Amino acid sequence: MPRPFLLALALLLPLLSRAGDAPSTSPDPPRTFRRLLIRPGAADAQVQEVLVAGGVTTIIRTPWGLHRRRPASLARTRPAPPFELLVGRGKVVVTPTRALVPGERFALVLRLEDDTVVPLALVGAARAAADGEVRLALDPNDSEELRVQLAAATSRAQGLEAQLRQALQEQDSEDFALAGLLAGGNVHLTALEKVRERQLVADEHARITVASYATASDRHGGRKVALVFTIANRGAAPMQVNIQDVSRRSTLALVPYAARAQPLRVAPGASGLLSVVLDGASPMPDEDPVTLELAIRRGGAQTQLALDVSEGDFASWWLF
Amino acid sequence: MVLLLAGCPVGVAVRPDGSPAEEPCPAGAREAMAELGLWPRASAQVDLDVTQLREGALLVYDGPLESETVVPMGELSAKTHLFGRVWTGGPRVVIRYYSAQLPDGRKLPFCGVANWNGPGLPKAPGRPGSAALSQTFASVDVVSQFR
């Protein structure tokens, strides 16, 4: 008997921001940034944002010590905010305890030892864009702070340049070409064979199914596996499905992938394909599956779908 | 009538288990499909019964069936109608497609079968001549011969 195919766990999460329009790109180890946040003293000053991501630790440094009794507090929500906070002298270490959808926001209030209150927003970001270290400044005219700000801006620009270079390389990669063929409905032009199919979502608004594919042999330059999602939009609003992250469930370590969607936005009454190509040569034991996190946006609402896949999902038990 | 014009067989032999016997693709199907970039292993999702597009279970009967592609397959666009025939007597429901009508009205011979996690479709027991399917959609896969 074939093992259970895919374990799908849908979590409804209200999100406050948009999902990216571009097809997903293959992630590298996270590149984090040093950044300076300047908070002018005005009461109506804008709340500064700190970019955080699952599995990435962010250090927030304050200009002087934190309040002894109430140094840092997260806004109380249900479920509880997914962060681990460690408070030191003049710094707060923030570690998300789960992957965050880009744009997801949580309020964090710091209180300094002189009772200055600094409201911040922890905002979910791609791992490559997360803040590694943030220095909080209260005086925008401090020359040392301006120097740090310049260095941080330079570092961020270099990081963005590296990301752009990587994106351009990915456009030419074999995996992205393969993903493009699959998203175009041309699986028969590849060496991939369908292994299993499963229904993930089926209601009056949408139907999402996924089929897993694997190469029958290694003769095509290494084993590749792929997932092809078929998205049928039955609702009245446009629909969009994006891959947010692909990672090991146990360690949150990122797994490289190539993804393509056709079309990027599915109109009401229409359908689309989203393909994801993975390196099937890397072990994917059942006890440590790979988790794909998808963001499904219908109109103004967004839901998240987590999908675990392991070797059993790509082991051919029938081919035709 | 469309089925007869498109060469849909009405007298395919049936195996002892109730499933249809082998038969060749309709005349000209391979050439017509090749012009659309379709070869065996091409695959797409279909809504099985164009008269029942809601989600849920689906009752199918032995005889003709009109389905509709959900997504493109090669150069065959979405919302192409596929005309086929249903056999419910075997261990799984067999649906063979013999012709296609593109959204622009063009008709062509076609050679494909409906599958879901293996050849054919899983079914729940029903009255003779019919079968209950747990879903209203399936994959249609292009084949070089009906087996």
Range of the structural domain that residue B130 is part of: 42-146
ipTM of the shown complex: 0.85
* pTM for the structure as a whole: 0.65
Q: Please identify, among A90, A117, A142, the residue that sits at the C-terminal boundary of a domain.
A: A142
What CATH number did the domain enclosing B87 receive? Answer: 2.40.128.260
Residues A265 and A312 in one domain: yes
**Composition of chain A by helix, strand, coil, percent to 5:** 15, 40, 45
Q: Which structure tokens are listed for A46?
A: 């804008």
Say how far apart CA A313 and CA A195 lie, in whole Å: 7
Residues A124 and A193 in one domain: no
Q: Is A112 inside a domain boundary?
A: yes
CB A66 within 8 A of CB A92: yes
- Position A74, amino acid: L
B118 interfacial to chain A (CB closer than 8 Å):
yes
Got the DSSP string for B21-44?
PPBPPPTTHHHHHHHTT--TT-EE
B67 interfacial to chain A (CB closer than 8 Å):
no
Q: Which structure tokens are listed for B92?
A: 């799984």
Residues A55 and A121 in one domain: yes
Say how far apart CA A12 and CA A304 lie, in whole Å: 6
Q: Which residue of A has its CA nearest to B70?
A: A271
Of A144, A127, A60, A157, which Cα lies nearest the Cα of A293?
Answer: A127
Q: Is A21 inside a domain boundary?
A: no
Q: Per mean pLDDT, which range of A195-204, A306-315, B26-35, B69-78 is the poorest?
A: A306-315
Condensed to tens digits (0 to 9), the pLDDT of residues B87-119 reads: 999 999 999 999 999 999 999 999 999 999 989
Say how far apart CA B131 and CA B147 lie, in whole Å: 21
- Compare CB distances from A197 to B72, B73, B117 and report the shortest one's residue: B117
Number of domains in chain A: 2
Condensed to tens digits (0 to 9), the pLDDT of residues A140-174 reads: 666 666 676 677 677 667 767 766 776 777 777 88
Range of the structural domain that residue A208 is part of: 175-319
Report phi then psi at A296, rounded to 5. Answer: -110, 115
Stated length of chain B: 147
Residues A104 and A216 in one domain: no
Chain B CB contacts of A184 under 8 Å are 72
Q: Is A275 helix (H, G, I), strand (E, B) or coil?
A: strand
Q: Which structure tokens are listed for A109?
A: 């209030």
Q: Is B31 inside a domain boundary?
A: no
Chain B CB contacts of A189 under 8 Å are 39
Say how far apart CA A213 and CA A33 lie, in whole Å: 38
Q: Is the pLDDT of residue A195 over 80?
A: yes
Q: Which residue has the higher pLDDT, B93 or A42?
A: B93
Q: Which structure tokens are listed for A32?
A: 């984090």
What CATH number did the domain enclosing A283 receive? Answer: 2.60.40.1230
Condensed to tens digits (0 to 9), the pLDDT of residues A15-36 reads: 323 333 333 444 444 555 666 6
CB A293 within 8 A of CB A299: no
Report phi then psi at A311, rounded to 5. Answer: -55, -35
